[in-house]
Structure 1
């Protein structure tokens, strides 16, 4: 018999996703500032900074294997406590780094190394939370409950862009480069420490208790997932691929795009992205509820079609230099990304049974995110700079959407009837 987790534990799990998204969104929203601080002046600095973001994301699959093993063998709660402790240390260390002006190119190397530690630590973070929420929610409310992780993560993104915008707007460029850039990372470290304390009060997942009771915990979660859940891994990869590129190109890359191609100031770009984050927070629970009523498959198909048609036009609008057109573009892209994230959270987790779920989910999602998330802002910026085609980022989203659409059309419905 299904025993749901207490509302308090579900709330802690959902809210705790703010840390991961705060940090990684902060890095992208603050990319133009970090480029000057850690890699020095010059046009190549922003591209190198985005390259460091991509390299760090390649660590996520390794972290997924490590933390997925812990989650499937030792429990979801234990995994989530360990991952956020490592995230706290990484963010605090970043806030205390020396700059390019102090130690030269070594500053950029240290920054990238700490990004790799962060990438490793969040390898199973978001997927672990989604698995926990799925296993603890009432079956008929899984879409809404799992989507709360996406909504809460966007609160982290909103907090990141808000702190970034306030920091940039409240001080001079010399002060920002000297010490002001540290403020958002100290805020992130404090936030992560608070989440660790809150997570220590969480219950263990009832699904893990069932596996302990029935002695069905896999000896090697990775081997178990690869042997028994290859189809689920492929489907979850496709869902996560669309979720990653719509989010990381359609939302987190947008401030850099607006500044470089749209000719808007850093401050205006960040405030536009703040408004876009609010759109995601509003869209996410509504899409989660919709997926509980009509199913995951129809929602994913409609969102894939929208992602194939709309993004190119939206990037063209944002490149016009008009504030109003930039606002429309950011809002539409945010709504698409929020919808995909909401349905994708529950749909990916439902591709796996309880045994080996965290490993299978983390492996498929982080592999997709490493390719279509961490790498794509770098590729998007490179394409815009080399070709001058401002619709190139939208074309990237459209291409991935068309590739995964057949998977969505053929997949079975996973929502409980």
Structure 2
């Protein structure tokens, strides 16, 4: 019987710095798009679903449902990446993302097309979610396989840091539109500009990806003749415990990020305790904190190991969120900033160490399929769905600290998995 620990590839030269940089920066587009939709949720709900209190909940619910396409996309692109190469997979996914963002920018509105406009938006959100399904996991696997063994945590964490650059870019674009255009202009035509910019950026990333090298681990598989003919079946047969561990780690990373960072502007707007400008300011601070914290935590996990760092972060996720959401909602301006900073630091830390920890659960053979079954499935459930669930529960219960309780509950469930998982940071390539 095969061990549940990943089998290490034979040592070979790592990827060039250019290829690693291009791969890391690629996640900017995915998170720019998702953050843009969350931050612009109130605008998009009016533009595509018409006036009324139910429009925002309808939009958030539609975005959540579309996110369920991510696991399907991850399985599709994971098969391509495991069978035909990481580079080919990442080129195809970025081409679809470019088309989806451009089509969104050109969509007719509710005023022009009625209720069909909302359905068309949701259809494109499904296409976008499908195309990004394997995006983040593909980049993480590529960075892990191209990094030196003692720097896997640091290099792989760059995917999480770069994704937050995309989120910060979305915040900046939203702020420029909100402050630079009248509200009526934003609703009539201004909302199209961020999606046009996203399409241009995605096209640029596709061109940059065309210059990337193939992953050295996939080249090793080709030389050794170990590329699995059916990656999904191979992973399900040999690495079921790894899939469960990956799901758990990603569940914690997803809910801390999606509820603890990207949902915050909507939370502050709907609870009515902060002005829109203050909410955007807190989100900007949070994005900067994540960018700064992520590589530090990634490097720390190379030194101390994935397991202890994850355990500390899971404990913090269980103890702090309810208090931090309370500070952001009802505290002084200084207390609100402190709450946003601490919550962002925890979320960024989990994403940083989780990137390497999840990818290391699998060998190169079938790695992307394993991440699709574990990491992407968890993201669909605990990422795309949780802002909608948080908003719904606040509305139904009247308790504004529901988001913090959701994070704490998931952290308590994940902590035993983290404490019993094998350490993967110090496993060396087989000679």
**TM over 0.5, shorter chain:** yes
Cα RMSD after superposing both structures: 1.0
Aligned to 2:281: 271
Q: How does 1:398-417 map to 2 (within 5 A)?
A: 398-416=408-426
| Residue of structure 2 in register with 1:100 after alignment | 110
Structure 1 residue 263, shift from structure 2 partner: 2.9
Give the match for residue 48 of structure 1. Answer: 58
Mapping 1:365-380, distance limit 5 Å: 365-380=375-390
1:87: how far off?
0.2
Q: Which runs of 4+ in 1 moved over 4 A?
A: none
Q: Which moved more, 1:30-39 or 1:206-215?
A: 30-39
Structure 1 unaligned runs (5+)? Answer: none
1:206 to 197, 216, 235: 216
Q: How does 1:109-120 map to 2 (within 5 A)?
A: 109-120=119-130
Q: Displacement of 1:100 after TM fit?
A: 1.1
The offset of 1:262, in angstroms, is 4.0
Aligned: 1:153 with 2:163: yes
Counterpart in the other structure of 1:138: 148
Aligned positions of 1:315-330 closer than 5 A: 315-320=325-330, 322-330=332-340
Secondary structure of the 1:16 match is: helix
Partner Cα distance (2:188, 2:385) in 1 = 29
- Check whether the contact 2:274–2:329 (CA below 8 A) recurs between aligned residues: no
Deviations 1:378-411, CA, capped at 9 Å, x for gaps: 0000111111111110000000000010000000
Offset, 1:322: 4.1
Q: Could you report, residue by residue, the CA deviation over 1:358-387 in whole angstroms, capped at 9, with x for unpaired residues?
A: 111122111001110000000000111111
Alignment of 1:321-340 (within 5 A): 322-340=332-350
SS state at 2:330 partner: coil
Q: Which residue is equivalent to 1:61?
A: 71
For residues 260 and 393 of structure 2, the distance between their equivalents in structure 1, rounded to whole angstroms, comes to 15
In the alignment, the residues of structure 1 paired with residue 328 and residue 24 of structure 2 have an alpha-carbon distance, to the nearest angstrom, of 32
Cα distance between partner residues in 2 of 1:28 and 1:321: 24
Q: CA deviation at 1:324?
A: 2.9
Deviations 1:199-225 (A, max 9, x none): 000000010001101110111111111
SS at match of 1:69: helix
Alignment of 1:312 onto 2:325: no
Q: Deviations over 1:136-166 (max 9, x none)?
A: 0000000000000100110001001110111
- Normalization by structure 2: what TM-score? 0.95
Structure 1 Cα separation of the partners of residues 333 and 266 of structure 2: 15
Correspondence 1:35 to 2:41? no
Q: How far is the alpha carbon of 1:284 from its aligned partner?
A: 0.2
How many corresponding residue pairs? 417
Is the CA contact (8 Å cut-off) linking 2:73 and 2:134 kept in structure 1? yes
- Aligned ranges for residues 220-299 of structure 1 at < 5 Å? 220-299=230-309
Answer yes or no: is the 8 Å Cα contact 1:54–1:374 preserved in 2. Answer: yes
Contact 1:128 1:362 (8 Å CA) reproduced: no
Q: Distance in 2 between matches of 1:328 and 1:44?
A: 33
Alpha-carbon distance in structure 1 between the residues aligned to 2:336 and 2:59: 24
